[in-house]
């Protein structure tokens, strides 16, 4: 079994470790950063590619490497690559699996501090109109900062990002002071989030609805504790996805793999 895994998430490293342990396979993982590639290699991926790939190059890799299956384990908000991967699988008529982490279960959580938004542009407008005082903690990645900063002063903006070259360059381009950058190393605990709220005088935090793996619960609990607003960007809906191609845990993934091989 030769698999092309579109990765760069904690889910993808879990998949690599699980599949290499339980199946006879070769895994080639693509990520957009060197950091993600290193984690994939450490998890057991046979080969890694550490840069964004256009559709045509992905197709060439599949053909040249004689790939038999495509697994998309990219972030729930990486909608462009998911649409691209579905298109590729359809064009090449190859087995395809979308690993999509479950949404966050908020059944027993106080959600009174949460304000939902369908986009980062909408989130920026919401802050501009309703949260004019206090600073903004941006827990939603470097690629989404620009939409917020169209409406929010950079002086009150504190992004928590991976300190990789591409993210630092985005901060420089947008005028974010280096002292405002919060280095990210995995999901933060409730206590760590509380400490960040206090240290930076935050009145609002921005997060994606990225599931338990993304530390959403810990952010909400910290915000509740400190009476801080949470603006939660809801996941994009990808109409091209066939629900029968989606799995949400490793047991479901195993069933899919066995059905194909």
Burial 16-47 (b: 16+ CB within 10 A, else e): bebbbeeeebbbbbbbbbeebbebbbebebee
pLDDT tier, 235 (very low <50, low <70, confident <90, very high otherwise): confident
pLDDT of 99 above 90: yes
pLDDT of 106 above 90: no
Residues linked to residue 71 through DSSP beta bridges, in sequence order: 5, 97
Residue 85 has a pLDDT of 97
Identify the CATH class of 2-102+239-260.
Answer: alpha beta
DSSP label at residue 227: T
φ and ψ at 44, to 5 degrees? 120, 10
In the chain, the DSSP E strands lie at 2-6, 26-31, 47-50, 69-72, 96-99, 114-117, 135-139, 157-161, 182-183, 202-208, 229-233, 246-247
- % the chain with pLDDT above 70: 100
Angle at 214 (CA atoms; ends 196, 6), nearest 5 degrees:
135
Residue 242, judged by CB atoms within 10 A of its CB (0-12, 13-18, 19+), counts as exposed
CATH architecture of 114-233: 3-Layer(aba) Sandwich (3.40)
Q: For the CA atoms of 32, 163, 134, 146, what is the dihedral angle to 10 degrees? A: -40
Fold match, 2-102+239-260 / 114-233: yes
Average pLDDT for the chain = 93
Residue 103 has a pLDDT of 82
Give Cα 136 distance to the centre of its chain: 20
- Give 4-47 pLDDT, tens digit per residue: 999 998 899 999 999 999 999 999 999 988 889 999 999 999 99
Cα–Cα distance for residue pair 144/128, rounded to 1 Å: 16
**Domain boundary assignment for the chain:** 2-102+239-260, 114-233
Q: What's the longest Cα–Cα distance across the chain?
A: 57
Residue 79 has a pLDDT of 87
The answer to whether the predicted template modeling score (pTM) of the entire model surpasses 0.85 is no
Cα–Cα distance for residue pair 76/36, rounded to 1 Å: 16
Residue 75 has a pLDDT of 86
Residue 187 has a pLDDT of 76
What mean pLDDT is predicted for residues 95-105?
89
3-state DSSP call for residue 129? helix
| One-character DSSP codes across 78-90 | -HHHHHHHHHHHH
- Give 128-137 pLDDT, tens digit per residue: 999 999 999 9
For residue 225, what are the CA distances in angstroms to 191, 220, 254?
10, 9, 40
Instruction: List, in order, residues 6 or more apart from 107 with CB less than 8 Å away.
Output: none
- Give 147-197 pLDDT, tens digit per residue: 999 999 999 999 999 878 889 999 999 999 999 999 887 778 999 999 999
């Amino acid at each position: 079994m030769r698999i092309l895994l579109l990765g760069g998430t904690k889910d993808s490293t879990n998949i690599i470790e699980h599949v290499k342990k339980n199946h006879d396979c070769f895994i080639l993982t693509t990520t957009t950063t060197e950091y993600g590639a290193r984690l994939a290699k450490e998890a057991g991926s046979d080969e890694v590619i550490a840069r964004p790939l256009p559709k045509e190059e992905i197709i060439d890799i599949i053909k040249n490497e004689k790939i038999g299956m495509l697994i998309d384990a990219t972030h729930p908000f990486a909608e462009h690559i998911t649409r691209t991967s579905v298109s590729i699988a359809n064009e090449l008529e190859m087995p395809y699996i979308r690993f999509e982490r479950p949404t966050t279960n908020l059944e027993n959580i106080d959600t009174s501090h949460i304000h939902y938004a369908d986009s980062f542009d909408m989130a920026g407008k919401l802050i501009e109109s309703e949260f004019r005082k206090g600073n903004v903690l941006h827990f939603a990645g470097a690629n989404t900062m620009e939409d917020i900063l169209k409406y929010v002063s950079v002086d009150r903006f504190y992004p928590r990002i991976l300190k990789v070259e591409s993210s630092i360059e985005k901060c420089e381009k947008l005028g974010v002071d280096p002292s405002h950058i919060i280095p990210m190393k995995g999901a933060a605990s409730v206590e760590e989030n509380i400490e960040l709220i206090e240290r930076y005088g935050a009145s609002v935090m921005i997060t994606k609805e990225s599931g338990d793996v993304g530390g959403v619960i810990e952010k909400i609990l910290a915000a509740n504790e400190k009476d801080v607003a949470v603006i939660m960007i809801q996941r994009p809906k990808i109409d091209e996805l066939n629900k029968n191609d989606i799995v949400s845990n490793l047991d479901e993934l195993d069933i899919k793999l066995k059905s194909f091989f």
